[in-house]
């Protein structure tokens, strides 16, 4: 019998600039074939009907095609990560600016001409895989470098410190943070009793809480988020000299956050907001970039900092030890398959290369055990390193054998060393110069289950962070504490927390406590509770500009910012086209929002296509709003409640709003209008730009618009609380 011809799946073609990792992954990648088969390659003639005893009879157990399909479906999912379950990832490369030979022998940090493939995963911490992207939470920032010496994983967060000092408290922290076990609520949220009960009894969490209540915990985009290694590591050079090092990722697009009201609304409008933003940016060629920075401290000089660099609740102020930018990372390719790559990737802080080593940070030490242990459970056994996304690009060879999901076929009778039955020679390693060498460190202390007294200061760095914030950022932190603690049902927990905050700043604590129905903050009461350490380090500085998002120098970079252009029939085509093109030239994305889909008729009779309607999008999806001129268009929009709300909401969230000529009518609800004395357009508050035809023609309005958008937000804007949410 003649068998039907089947097309076989072929591997996708690679670009000329493919990395070693892309070339490796190609061997495991196939395009979709035109003919369905079983997993054994058997052609399937009918994928719509199971095998039955007659057309209306029972399904037969004999139907092996049905059983294979259903069985595979039943086992498609693997256990989600206990933390960092919801994530998004991308491929890219890292390139060094200057050799770091003086400090480290790590191969990928020697040659500025070398491009090292990377795979980066961003994530939220607390929520399940199905939670929303824009919840208030820490964000994971994990980078896997596929180096010639093996995989190196820099597994960090978007916040440089952590909640706890010792890994033995990590299960307690996560159990307190996760949904409460009796009712599995709330999802992906810290605003509930068990979390605040725990952290109010753990003063060491205070510094991290300041960051978590800031806008750092609600980033605008993964592309506009810093990353930190959190722990102190060691650089080791070829001579064995050691330096302590802290790792930083600095985004080229700046560090920006969302407004809290905006973040909550986005969670309902688009739960995949951050995922979509990253995917679409890479898909259209707007490749996100970060610079790798390091803070380097000579071994023996760390005591001069005044605090213990092994304490993960502390940071090294950048004004004390500046960050050296040593290289750039570019993400330029989306994964081909979310499960195979993003979900199955396994990071581990213990994946090192020669020239980088650990310190005795007790949180880091616990992570070195935890990550391996969780991969065994989540990925089904000890061979998770053979999953394509986890596989090193350099050769690897050892006598580790068998186990679930083993992929390699190891030939020969010998699986041990030393031996005489194989060559044996390549495995005879007795302390040679090559490979990884742990930094020799003298240890003469007795075994003891106790914490170092140098870890006892729980508030100085929290105060430093608070002092470094702008007035608007301080307002946001206060509002966040108020929101979170208002969700706490037990008054005593609220009281304990504000009592702790009194040791950070008395005014902060008083402001937080004011609307919570509790007593005034009592610093002495906090000091009398179990776990409190009445100890303060001598601060060398009172504030550090690097800790503020608002304090960063403004740029004129508005690349990838999203602009909503509001139009209706009768819009002035000239002012629309000019601003649209100029914004596109500056790297922004422009979307036309109109009362309905389909063409909009301009004042000159031309047709203008609409991208969105006021009913299917909102201002929270954009970074700025532009309203072109045109009397008829302005009149229509001013009578449309959704259009008015669009502008009001953008104003409330402190975004740039630009109106030309008659477009200013739409701002009437906010009290912005033509000055009747001379017909000139007024600009009454930050980030509200009003212009006429002359300003548009000579470029004044564009310059002002780009400058305003580059600030991202105008947090000092007046009367935002008067605008209804």
Q: Write out the catalytic residue numbers.
A: 84, 157
**Does residue 233 contact residue 561 with C-beta atoms inside 8 Å?**
no
Helical (H) or strand (E) element with 652: helix 641-652
CA distances from 38 to 25, 35, 44, 66, 549 (A): 23, 10, 7, 10, 54
491-501 vs 471-486: helix crossing angle, rounded to 10: 160
SS3 label, residue 87: strand
Buried-state track 662-684, b at ≥16 Cβ within 10 A, e below 16: bbbbbbeebebebeeeeeebeee
Cα 605 to Cα 42: distance, rounded to the nearest angstrom = 61
Helical (H) or strand (E) element with 242: strand 242-251
Cα 270 to Cα 278: distance, rounded to the nearest angstrom = 14
CA distances from 573 to 569, 606, 627, 676 (A): 10, 8, 12, 26
**Does residue 512 contact residue 183 with C-beta atoms inside 8 Å?**
no
Cα 131 to Cα 253: distance, rounded to the nearest angstrom = 26
SS3 label, residue 67: helix
Residue recorded with tokens 């023996």? 300
Judged on CB neighbours under 10 Å (0-12, 13-18, 19+), 293 is buried
Closest alpha carbon to 630 in 660, 609, 650, 656: 660
Residue recorded with tokens 């697009």? 253
DSSP H helical ranges for 5-63: 20-26
DSSP 457: -
């Amino acid at each position: 019998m003649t068998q039907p011809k089947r097309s076989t799946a072929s591997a996708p073609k690679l670009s000329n600039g493919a990395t070693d990792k892309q070339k490796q992954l190609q061997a495991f990648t196939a395009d979709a074939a035109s003919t369905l088969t079983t997993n054994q390659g058997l052609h399937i003639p009918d994928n719509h009907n199971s095998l039955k005893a007659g057309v209306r009879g029972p399904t037969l157990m004999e139907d092996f095609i049905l059983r294979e399909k259903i069985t595979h479906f039943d086992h498609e999912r693997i256990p989600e990560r206990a933390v960092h379950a919801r994530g998004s990832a991308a491929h890219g490369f890292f390139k060094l600016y200057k050799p770091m030979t003086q400090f480290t022998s790590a191969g990928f940090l020697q040659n500025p001409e070398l491009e090292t493939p990377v795979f980066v995963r961003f994530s939220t911490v607390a929520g399940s895989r199905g939670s929303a992207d824009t919840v208030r939470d820490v964000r994971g920032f994990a980078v896997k470098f596929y180096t010639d010496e093996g995989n190196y994983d820099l597994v960090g967060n978007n916040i440089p410190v952590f909640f706890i000092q010792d890994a033995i408290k990590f299960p307690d922290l996560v159990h307190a943070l996760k949904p409460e076990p009796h009712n599995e609520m709330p999802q992906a949220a810290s605003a509930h009793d068990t979390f605040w009960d725990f952290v109010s009894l753990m003063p060491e969490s205070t510094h991290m809480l300041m960051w978590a209540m800031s806008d750092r915990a609600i980033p605008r985009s993964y592309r506009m988020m810093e990353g930190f290694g959190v722990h102190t590591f060691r650089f080791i050079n070829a001579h064995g000299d050691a330096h302590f090092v802290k790792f930083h990722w600095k985004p080229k697009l700046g560090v920006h956050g969302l407004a809290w009201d905006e973040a909550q609304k986005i969670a309902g409008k688009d739960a995949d907001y951050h995922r979509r933003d990253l995917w679409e940016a890479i898909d259209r060629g707007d490749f996100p970039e970060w610079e790798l920075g390091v803070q380097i401290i000579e071994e023996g000089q760390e005591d001069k900092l005044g605090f213990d660099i092994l304490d993960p609740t502390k940071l090294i102020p950048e004004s004390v030890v500046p960050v050296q930018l040593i290289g750039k990372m570019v993400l330029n390719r989306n994964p081909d398959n979310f499960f195979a790559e993003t979900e199955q990737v396994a990071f581990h802080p213990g994946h090192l290369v020669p020239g980088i080593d650990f310190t005795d940070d007790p949180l880091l030490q616990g992570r070195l055990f935890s990550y391996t242990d969780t991969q065994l459970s989540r990925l089904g056994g000890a061979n998770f390193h053979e999953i394509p996304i986890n596989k090193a690009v350099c050769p690897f060879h050892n006598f580790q054998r068998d186990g679930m999901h083993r992929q390699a076929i190891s030939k020969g009778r010998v699986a041990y060393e030393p031996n005489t039955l194989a060559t044996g020679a390549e495995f005879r390693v007795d302390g040679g110069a090559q490979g990884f060498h742990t930094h020799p460190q003298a240890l003469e202390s007795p075994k003891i289950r106790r914490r170092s007294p140098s870890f006892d200061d729980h508030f100085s760095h929290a105060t430093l962070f608070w002092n470094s914030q702008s007035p608007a950022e301080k307002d946001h932190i206060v509002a966040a504490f108020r929101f979170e603690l208002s969700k706490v049902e037990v008054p005593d927990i609220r009281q304990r927390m504000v009592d702790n905050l009194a040791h950070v700043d008395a005014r902060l604590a008083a402001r937080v406590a004011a609307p919570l129905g509790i007593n005034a903050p009592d610093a002495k009461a906090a000091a009398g509770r179990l776990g409190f350490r009445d100890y303060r380090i001598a601060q060398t500085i009172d504030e550090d500009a690097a800790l503020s998002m608002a304090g960063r120098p403004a740029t004129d970079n508005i690349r990838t910012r999203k602009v909503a252009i509001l139009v209706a029939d009768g819009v002035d085509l000239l002012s629309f086209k000019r601003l649209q093109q100029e914004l596109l030239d500056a790297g922004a994305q422009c979307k036309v929002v109109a009362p309905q889909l389909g063409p909009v008729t301009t004042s000159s009779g031309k047709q203008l296509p609409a991208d969105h309607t006021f009913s299917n999008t909102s201002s929270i999806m954009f970074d700025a709003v532009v309203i072109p001129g045109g009397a008829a268009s302005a009149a229509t929009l001013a009578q449309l409640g959704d259009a008015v709300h669009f502008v009001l909401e953008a104003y409330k969230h402190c975004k740039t709003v630009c109106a030309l000529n008659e477009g200013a009518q739409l701002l009437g609800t906010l009290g912005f209008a033509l000055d009747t004395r001379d017909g000139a357009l007024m600009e009454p508050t930050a980030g509200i730009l009003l212009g006429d035809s002359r300003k548009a023609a000579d470029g004044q309005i564009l310059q002002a618009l780009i400058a305003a958008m580059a600030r991202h937000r105008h947090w000092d804007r007046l009367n935002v609380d008067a605008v209804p949410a």
